[in-house]
Amino acid sequence: MLGNTTLTEFLDGLRTVPQHRPWPRHLLDERGWMDLIHQLAESDWTLLGLWADGGEVHAALRDEEDGAVAVASLSCPERKFPSLSGVRPGAIRLERALRDLWGLTPVGLTDPRPWLDHGRWPLSRPLALPRGPAPETPVDYPFLPVEGEALHIIPVGPVHAGIIEPGHFRFTCSGESVVRLEARLGYAHKGVEELMAGKPLAEAAKLAARLSGDSTVAYSLAFARAVEAATASEAPPRAHWLRALMAELERIANHLLDVGGVCNDAAFAVMLAHCTTLREAVLQANAACFGHRLLMDRIQPGGVTHDLTREGGATLRTLCATLAQRFNILVDIYDDLPSLQDRTVGTGIVRPALARRFGAGGFVGRASMQGGDARKAAAYPPYDELEFAVPTQPLGDVNARIWQRIEELRESLSLVNQLMDGMPGGPLMRPIPTRGGEGMALVEGFRGEILLWLRLSEAGKVVRCHPRDPSWFQWPLLEAAIEGNIVADFPLCNKSFNCSYSGVDL
């Protein structure tokens, strides 16, 4: 079986779940799951996600050779399953979270520490049936040991100096150099998966839109597409195009803030001031065209809530023209300043092989030679009709992640223009039929590929929804990127990653 087996060949002949769309879901027994682990050691398949539903564990995989996507499922009557972490290190935190929330034990996972559960909830195993009792004391979290002479530790957070999300970083340093960074997250855990269970679509969509506020469009799109897949329905063509328009506006706004933010962390505040001003123009155009600055709740299962008027179109065209011109000036300035590049070039390097091992996508992966982009790989409409490049950078440093955003932003500006040129007419919404089923969506948010899987009841309510943020596979790389860098370069590295806290804390 090993060698050059494709994912489709490997799963061929296994029992398939009938109501799972658009990709197949196969049922494996424990032996099949072990075979999968052995095969993963040999194959280049990407682990897209790992989650549980009731007593079942699901792993979503993609064969990068032919682009085939499939879900492999294992029933765990004894509430344990063989861990994938040995062959896919990106699974480590997913399995720790799964153990905290579902009480399923990943056998072979070497890290026994909890992840999302800090021992402060009034219960444990919140998604398991029955749930576990409340812990007697909060978790005493042991950080990984670091041995050596004259090392000192700098604990940072969960409350940070800036206006950012909560998380704890533990730096072990030798002089100025970081020997080890370890992040502890989970502070923003809101119990979203539990809240979504049993909710009607409209309420669950609202929660999906608030998984990570800066990616609200991408998450709403992922939720809507998963619902549409589960119910075998489709949004009207105009809705697809308006969704993509909103998604690209979100990408542009976020990339602008990030480019400015990284420069600001190298004490070049002028760039942040100008990028913020440009970003504000995008947000004001969003509000003028669609009635919300961040475009929250504009995408719903079945379509979109707001149409683009003729004036709205004119606003966006003017915006793109001035944005392109003014952004180019900023890019030239960045390119012109050796004192700024002195901070960004060669800082926080992520090797392509490591990015590959963790299956990291988005600007973090692409700045380290990983070419994946759900808009191409999953080719959901209307991207199959649009022309755009997926740039990559070879060096994987902070500078590469800045250039990655610059190039992606330019592609997005071109996409916005194409979307305006080709926008079809017609209705904005098609009602979702009331029926059960399982659906999965892969959507490219500004950080990378979002996976969202859900199961609907026959009454059309959400039974189980699992969103997997791109940052799950990017956070661990930050810990590698900072190694050997000076402490003062951490803000630069961190901002150049700009991982989501809320999105992974759930």
Partner 1 sequence: MRLVRLLLKTLLKGPVTLAPPPADADSLAQLAQGLAARSRAVLGRSLAIRALDAGSCNGCELELQAVGGPVYDLERYGLKFVASPRHADVLLVTGPVTRNMALAARRTFEAMAAPKWVVAVGDCARDGGCFAGSYAVMNGVQEILPVDLVIPGCPPEPQKLLAALLALLETVA
Positions that interact with partner 1 (CB under 8 A): 118, 120-123, 126, 158-159, 161-166, 186-192, 194-195, 203, 206-207, 210-214, 216, 257, 270, 272-274, 276-277, 279-280, 283, 287, 293-294, 296, 329-330, 332-333, 336-337, 500-502, 505
User: Whole-number minimum distance, CB 275 to partner 1, in Å?
Assistant: 9
Kindly report the length of the chain: 506
User: Whole-number minimum distance, CB 320 to partner 1, in Å?
Assistant: 19
Nearest CA among 484, 432, 480 for reference residue 456: 432
User: Whole-number minimum distance, CB 506 to partner 1, in Å?
Assistant: 9
What whole-number distance in Å separates Cα of residue 101 and Cα of residue 117?
A: 8
> Which residue number, 186 or 361, has a Cβ lying nearer to partner 1?
186
Provide the pairing of β-strand 437-444 with 303-304.
Answer: unpaired
Query: CB of 447 within 8 A of CB of 471?
Result: yes
Query: CB of 158 within 8 A of CB of 118?
Result: no
> Which residue number, 121 or 143, has a Cβ lying nearer to partner 1?
121
> Which residue number, 82 or 186, has a Cβ lying nearer to partner 1?
186
What whole-number distance in Å separates Cα of residue 347 and Cα of residue 359?
A: 21
| The CA-based dihedral angle spanning residues 279, 284, 287, 290, taken in that order and rounded to the nearest 10 degrees | -70
> Which residue number, 85 or 264, has a Cβ lying nearer to partner 1?
264
> Which residue number, 185 or 227, has a Cβ lying nearer to partner 1?
185
> Which residue number, 73 or 496, has a Cβ lying nearer to partner 1?
496
User: Whole-number minimum distance, CB 406 to partner 1, in Å?
Assistant: 15
What whole-number distance in Å separates Cα of residue 265 and Cα of residue 306?
A: 37
> Which residue number, 333 or 480, has a Cβ lying nearer to partner 1?
333
Provide the pairing of β-strand 25-28 with 69-75.
Answer: parallel
What whole-number distance in Å separates Cα of residue 419 and Cα of residue 424?
A: 9
What secondary structure does DSSP assign to 137-206, as a single string? S----PPPP---TTEEEEEE-SS-SSS----EEEEEEETTEEEEEEEE--TT---HHHHHTT-BHHHHHH
> Which residue number, 14 or 139, has a Cβ lying nearer to partner 1?
139
> Which residue number, 114 or 436, has a Cβ lying nearer to partner 1?
114
> Which residue number, 122 or 431, has a Cβ lying nearer to partner 1?
122
Neighbours of 305 (CB within 10 A): 16
Coil/strand/helix, residue 53: strand
Distance of CA 227 to the CA centre of its chain: 19
User: Whole-number minimum distance, CB 122 to partner 1, in Å?
Assistant: 6
Query: CB of 57 within 8 A of CB of 98?
Result: yes
User: Whole-number minimum distance, CB 227 to partner 1, in Å?
Assistant: 18
User: Whole-number minimum distance, CB 138 to partner 1, in Å?
Assistant: 8
User: Whole-number minimum distance, CB 29 to partner 1, in Å?
Assistant: 33
User: How many C-alpha atoms does 296 have within 13 Å on its Cβ side?
Assistant: 12
User: Whole-number minimum distance, CB 329 to partner 1, in Å?
Assistant: 6
User: Whole-number minimum distance, CB 216 to partner 1, in Å?
Assistant: 7
Distances 341 to 216, 260, 353 between C-alpha atoms, Å: 32, 14, 25
Taking the alpha carbons of 492, 494, 497, 498 in that order, is the dihedral positive or negative? negative
